[in-house]
Chains A and B, each alone.
Chain A
Amino acid sequence: MRGALRFPGFTAVAVILATWVAATATGFVNSEFIPPPHEVLRAGAEDWTNLGAATVESMWTALVGYAVGFGAAVVVGMAVGRYASVDSWVSGPLDFFRAIPAVAVVPMALLVLADSFLVGAFAVAWGCFFLAVINVIAGVKHIPDTLQDAARSFGAGEVKVLRKVGIPSLLPYFLSSLRQNVSVALIVIVVADMVVGLSGLGFYILRTQSNALFGRMYASIVLIAIIGYVAFRLLEVAQRRLFPWWSETSLT
């Protein structure tokens, strides 16, 4: 159990691998559809150049969209959270457009932008923006009033209040929103790749599936899962390291 404590996913990975091996070895599942783990590993290594290129492309696109969406959320969220007058005008329309999931705008982006990079980045940005903007607004509303007053009492102007009180108390909200956005960005980029159907990891999955290259397909799925898991955990560790004083009230 000590190992499980140090690496929380250890037991989970062991169980999944064991089930996988057992299921394929006993013939419980059709090993043509679901090859055993070592076959998947071999297939992935065999097609390493294509898989690597697809990964780099998808991740780059997702990263750009993620950064743009998050940046826009910070600007809009800070204005909405800070000024009640802006809030009353903007939050309703924000709720309206937020109801449209990022995956639903992929076809629209494809119609208008007609470029696989732009389509992916736009859709990821859409998804990340609407998720992050809520976090930022919540963060701004949680900047302690009394501490702002204290800073003013020590002679701080509004800019200094923002720099010394506002930004530091917002940072953990930013990071936790970045963390939530990881899975959104991954889902959206994979769906966008599949819909655009030209390149990237999503397309790699579709193509290998239709060519019955199941080993390669699972290799790419496992790769995405690993990327998502690692990014999520890294941001979690960063959060704990950077903001040891910050305790998230709920894990969900």
Chain B
Amino acid sequence: MTKSVWIRGLKTAIVLAAIFGVWEYVSRAEMVNQFLFPPPTQVFTDTVAAFTDPPYRSGDGLLFQIGKSVYRAVAGWLIGVVVGVVFGVVVEWWNKPGSVAISLLEFLRPIPVILFLPVLVLVVGIGDLSRIIVIAWASFIFVAINTIFGVRTAKQSLLPDVVRSFGGTETLVLRRAVLGLAVPQIVAGARQAVGVALVLMVASELILSTDGLGWFILFMRRSLFPAEMYGAILMVGILGLIFGTLFQRLQKRILAPYLD
């Protein structure tokens, strides 16, 4: 890591420490309602305690809820990425002008999928599947659109013709030239899908649900345990940062040959 990255990290740490420090002071000095804004140290200790020993009488702790959420997010994201790539490649590779599939995708893109959660819950039940479907659908949209653009650009490049001139079949053109060229765009789509998957993970657990991180946040607010609520909200942010970093690592490895 370079020096400037360290300095940046240090500055970030200083600002965050200052924010939490002020919050701690303001709360301890009772300048704000201490019940609604508990000091960060209390948020920390209560949240850590809630990992295994939640403030409600029985049931699983925060750690279990996080696991539940992560499972849904990862499963939904994976399904969305796989289906999105397959769909995008198939649709664009054999694309005819005015293709219905692409205009369908364009039309469905701005419609918030979370609207359909209440119906999904009715159809497939209140468990994991309804949440996974919602996450998968949103991830699918992002990955499919990016894949289509990636394949479209790849089709216009010279590499497909190079493969053909070497006597390659169309399947070989698709496998060796088009897919390879489309990878950076596909990865960009998968990256957007990471963010979307996390948002929908929480959103879907806030509605008609009985477990997961989103449910925990809402349940803590309803049972009036603000410290645990803040802790769980911060956990969502931390999860986001972890996923973001992990994906960045993966992206670097995948895209290494594409960068100079």
Q: Are A100 and B236 in contact (CB under 8 A)?
A: yes
Asked if B31 is an interface residue, CB under 8 A from chain A, the answer is no
A209 and B107 in contact, given A101-B236, A103-B202, A251-B149 (Cβ under 8 angstroms): no
Report B-chain residues with C-beta under 8 Å of the C-beta of A232.
110
Neighbour of A221 across the interface among B36, B116, B217, B218, CB < 8 A:
B116
Q: Are B237 and A182 in contact (CB under 8 A)?
A: no
> Which among B7, B103, B214 has the greatest number of chain A C-beta atoms within 10 A?
B103
Q: Are A224 and B115 in contact (CB under 8 A)?
A: yes
Asked if A238 is an interface residue, CB under 8 A from chain B, the answer is no
Asked if B199 is an interface residue, CB under 8 A from chain A, the answer is yes
Interface segment, one of A5-13, A44-52, A136-144, A149-157: A5-13
Per-residue 0/1 for A94-135: is the Cβ within 8 Å of any B Cβ (1 yes, 0 no)?
A: 011101111111111011100000000000000000000000
Bound: A100/B238 CA distance, A: 8
Report B-chain residues with C-beta under 8 Å of the C-beta of A88.
7-8, 11
8 A Cβ contacts from A157-204 to B: 182-183, 186-187, 190-191, 194-195
In the complex, how many residue pairs between chain A and chain B have their CB atoms under 8 Å apart?
Answer: 162
Neighbour of B206 across the interface among A8, A90, A107, CB < 8 A:
A107
B138 CB to closest chain A CB (Å) equals 10
Neighbour of B103 across the interface among A9, A106, A194, CB < 8 A:
A9
Interface segment, one of B50-58, B166-174, B226-234: B226-234
Q: Are B112 and A187 in contact (CB under 8 A)?
A: yes
Report B-chain residues with C-beta under 8 Å of the C-beta of A195.
206-207, 218
B97's nearest neighbour on chain A, judged by CB, is A1
Bound: A112/B233 CA distance, A: 14
